[in-house]
Amino acid sequence: MVRTREEVSTADQRAEADDADRLVKDTGAPVPKPRRGLPLPITFYRSAVGKKWVMAVTGVIGMGFVFAHMIGNLHSFEGASQINHYGEWLRELLDPPFPRSFVLWVMRIGLITAVALHIHAAYSLTIMNRRARPVRYQSHRDYVAANFASRTMRWTGVIVLLFLVYHLLDLSFGTSNPGFVRGEVQRNLVASFEQWPVAIAYIVANVALGVHLYHGSWSLFQTVGWNNPRLNPLRRQFAVVFAVVVTVGFISVPIGVLAGVIE
């Protein structure tokens, strides 16, 4: 018997509702209902594409920060007065018209928000992927496409996050740095990296950051749609150069202290 279009859709809808009821009965898992009336940015963020965009945009903010921070740190090779002066300059940005440290705080809050969104998007994308494929791949994955950096994104991300917590306690708050004196950046750096286990921990964490940046800066172009065979060699070069420059720039400071070049 040939059914009309309306009959088909009602029959299908009924079958769908039956399936959903069965799923609740069988597994106890609630079937998510589409939510109406949410603001557009939230609706977008709830999709996998939206989360990837959030990762890309917050990733770019993070890349800008690490690059600027690495360049700023290189002042330590010029001597104590230069790096201390640089720290002071950051606090005095746009003062006047704004009060001292105001711009620095705006940047800090922007950075904290970006880091929090980056982590949340990464975490919820992982959950989404697991729900979509609860059984792991049975065969070996295509490890040519998924290289070392892309397979270790979660681990390098966690290492960088743990490093960041320690780093703030060490060089911003001074809690874990016995030789810490507020405002004396060079002295704090030397007091920290003179202890070689600390210097080595910084070097390892910044190599992990480099691996993370390499894959991140490569895949962010994929997310924004710049993915074609003509552009890909350029993307690869950019990712390599960016990751290497940032990593070498950062680790040069603990190495400089250990080598006695920074004192």
The binding site for ligand HEM (CB under 6 A) comprises 66, 69, 73, 87, 104, 108, 160, 164, 167-168, 171-172, 185, 189, 202, 206, 209, 250, 253-254
CB nearer to ligand HEM: give 172 or 227. Answer: 172
Label residue 225 left, alpha or beta by phi (over 0 means left) and psi (-120 to 50 means alpha).
left
CB of 52 to ligand HEM, least distance (A): 21
Whole-number Å distance between alpha carbons of 239 and 215: 7
**C-beta closer to ligand HEM: residue 150 or 184:** 184
Here the tokens at position 204 are 């390892």
Burial zone of 253 (CB within 10 Å; 0-12 exposed, 13-18 middle, 19+ buried): buried
Residues in the chain: 263
Give the largest Cα separation in the chain, rounded. 89
Closest to ligand HEM by CB, 49 or 168: 168
Provide, rounded to whole angstroms, the least separation between the CB of residue 171 and ligand HEM: 4
**For residue 259, with 0-12 CB atoms within 10 Å meaning exposed, 13-18 middle and 19 or more buried, which class applies?**
exposed
Q: Would you say 23 and 32 are in contact if contact means Cβ atoms under 8 Å apart?
A: no
Q: CB-wise, 239 or 246, nearer to ligand HEM? A: 246
Q: How far is the CB of 221 from ligand HEM (least distance, A)?
A: 21
Which of 236, 234, 207 lies closest to 147 in space, CA to CA? 236
CB of 90 to ligand HEM, least distance (A): 6
For ligand HEM, which is the closer residue by CB, 45 or 159?
159
Short-list 27, 75, 110, 92, CA closest to 186: 75
Residue 113 or 129: which CB sits closer to ligand HEM?
113
Q: In angstroms, what is the minimal distance from the CB of 66 to ligand HEM?
A: 6
Structure tokens at 205: 């964490």
Least distance (Å) between residue 78 CB and ligand HEM: 14
Residue whose beta carbon is closest to ligand HEM: 87
Which is nearer to ligand HEM, 49 or 71 (by Cβ)? 71
CB atoms within 10 A of CB 67: 15
In the complex, minimum distance from the CB of residue 54 to ligand HEM, in angstroms, rounded to a whole number: 18
Q: What angle do CA 52, 54, 58 make, to 5 degrees?
A: 120
